[in-house]
Amino acid sequence: MSSAPKDAAERWAVKPVICYPNETLPTPPLDLYHEMRDSAVKCGEVIIPPREARCFSVPAGHFFRMSAPEGPQVGDLNLFSQHNLAERFYSGKTRALHGTHITNGERMWSSFPYLRPLATVTDDSLHWYGIDEYGGSVHDVIGTRCDPYTGNLLSGSQYHHCCHSNLTRALADETGLSLQEAEPHIHDVLNVFMCTGFTRDTGQYFMKASPVRPSDYLEMIAEIDLLGALSACPGGDCSAEHSSDVAICHPLKVEILKPSDEMLAKFTSPAPNRYDGTHGR
């Protein structure tokens, strides 16, 4: 262990600089989105059983509403372009642009070379939670997803109802891909309803009991035609563990809502990022 140098206090005192100031990010037209939502009617519903995952499709300009109707439950969400699985949610860039957790008016951004909004949060009933005394908050883009590889690494377990496995099976069932073909498409998630943060002493990723209740929801507008995959985490509310057949788990629900044709005519999907891809050549 190295000892602190004489100028340690001076080094610690250096003020941080935000890596990606987001004041110049394209501003979502929330007034339009809320007007669209006022005209929307339910046109579809998917129930995700405990310790399983299901896929769902959301046309551009439609809304999808996620809830835990029977009790506290965390979900792991993957999003893809409906027409191109290579364009998918980029959690790292979303985290860099918005912070560790997302809420009203913030967006789920897509991977390179597209880097455009896949979905925008329009209504988060847990927005009130903010950041608690432990540094915890809700709907994180920190965690990767529970998976069998880490379980095997840490404990030698062979658990196959973790979210990575659930999402792989759901995507394979939806697309007709084999499990081996589907697995590389599964990516780091939005942890819907999960309450997480980093410990201040060791900097370790922590989870605590989700504050979600049956009346709560997270609602988004699809910015492009989307294919979603949502897993009901085997950790339930993630108050103790997240790869378990012991934790109490509940189903999740996804509702799809279609605005009126008049309002949909006012909606335009964002174009991919305009970087020309020449890499300075």
Task: Provide the domain count of the chain.
Answer: 1
In-domain check, residue 13:
no
Give me 214's structure tokens: 């049956």
Q: Which residues have C-beta within 8 Å of that of residue 12, sequence separation ≥ 6?
A: none
In a domain, 269, yes or no: no
Strand-pair category, 205-208 with 63-67: unpaired
Tokens 């140098």, located at residue: 5
The span from the CA of 71 to the CA of 90, in Å, is 29
**Contact present, 141 and 118 (Cβ < 8 Å):** no
- Report helix angle 163-175 to 148-155, nearest 10: 150
Res 280: pLDDT: 64
The answer to whether residue 219 is domain-embedded is: yes
Cα–Cα distance measured from residue 58 to residue 206, given in angstroms and rounded to the nearest whole number: 32
95 falls within a domain: yes
Is 39 inside a domain boundary? no
Chain-centre distance of CA 222, in angstroms?
13
Is 247 inside a domain boundary? yes
Domain residue limits at 92: 44-264
Per residue, the 3-state secondary structure of 177-245, as one string, reads CCHHHHHHHCCCCEEEEEEEEECCCCCCEEEECCCCCCCCEEEEEECCCEEEEEEECCCCCCCCCCCCC
Query: What pLDDT is recorded for position 159?
Result: 87
Residue 83 domain-assigned (yes or no): yes
Rounded distance between C-alpha atoms, residue 157 and residue 152, angstroms: 5
Domain contains 34 = no
pTM listed for this prediction = 0.95
Over the chain (281 residues), the average pLDDT of each successive run of 10 is 93 95 94 98 98 98 98 98 98 97 98 97 98 96 92 88 96 98 98 96 95 98 98 95 88 98 98 79 60
